[in-house]
């Protein structure tokens, strides 16, 4: 059986939330091997929520299935499931991020969607601007990774 090749989330995009709490996900992240169902989570970073594809949650649930209900690790998985907000694309390629998640993160209207490989982040534009810049070239990033 050949491994399933999943789409990766790369690049950075600027978008806005509409009045209904919807944000357009870049078309590059909705094509080919990208999943159509996502999960949105609060982040420990102010001004940010993280978004993982459904398969990531499925892998977590598979890990959990062999644990006893009293196992502390299972309890942590259950906490993760409780805070996950499912999000599916509408016909215009938008997902809804609930107001509670947006407010909790301090996300306003203007946002930056940042690809992180296996997931992406949605940042409040002002909060993202305050983040220190990381590697700015391929060579810098590759060197930091030891490649």
What are 5-21's pLDDT values in tens digits?
A: 577 899 999 999 999 99
**pTM of structure:** 0.87
Cα–Cα distance for residue pair 8/29, rounded to 1 Å: 8
Q: Which fold has domain 12-145?
A: Chemotaxis protein chec (3.40.1550)
Quick one: pLDDT at residue 112? 97
Domain boundaries, the chain: 12-145
If one compares 136 and 82, the residue with the highest pLDDT of the two is 82
State the maximum Cα–Cα separation within the chain, in Å, rounded to a whole number. 47
List residues bridging with 147 in a β-sheet: none
What are the contacts of 26-31 at 24+ separation with CB within 8 A? 26/113, 27/93, 29/113, 29/115, 29/120, 30/89, 30/93, 31/7
Tell me the pLDDT band of 135, cut-offs 50, 70 and 90.
low
Mean pLDDT of 56-78: 87
Which tens digits make up the pLDDT trace of 21-64?
Answer: 999 999 999 987 889 999 999 999 999 999 999 998 888 888 88
Q: State the average pLDDT for the chain.
A: 90
Which tens digits make up the pLDDT trace of 45-54?
Answer: 999 999 999 9
In the chain, pLDDT over 70 holds for what percent of residues? 95
Q: What are phi and psi of 64, to 5 degrees?
A: -70, -30
Quick one: pLDDT at residue 5? 54
Query: Of 146, 46, 39, 47, nearest to 83 (Cα)?
Result: 39
How many Cβ atoms from other residues are within 10 Å of residue 80's Cβ?
Answer: 15
Mean pLDDT of 90-102: 96
């Amino acid at each position: 059986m050949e491994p399933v090749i999943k789409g990766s989330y790369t690049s950075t995009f600027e978008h806005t939330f509409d009045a209904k709490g919807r944000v357009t996900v870049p078309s590059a992240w909705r094509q080919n091997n990208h999943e159509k169902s996502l999960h949105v989570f609060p982040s420990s970073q102010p001004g940010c929520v993280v978004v993982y594809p459904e398969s990531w949650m499925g892998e977590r649930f598979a890990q959990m299935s062999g644990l006893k209900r009293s196992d502390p690790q299972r309890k942590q998985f259950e906490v993760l499931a409780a805070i996950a907000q499912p999000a599916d694309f509408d016909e215009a390629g938008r997902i809804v991020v609930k107001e509670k998640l947006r407010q909790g993160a301090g996300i306003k209207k203007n946002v930056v969607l940042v690809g992180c490989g296996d997931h992406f982040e949605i940042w409040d534009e002002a909060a993202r601007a305050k983040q220190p810049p990381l590697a700015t070239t391929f060579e810098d990033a590759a060197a930091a990774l030891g490649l």
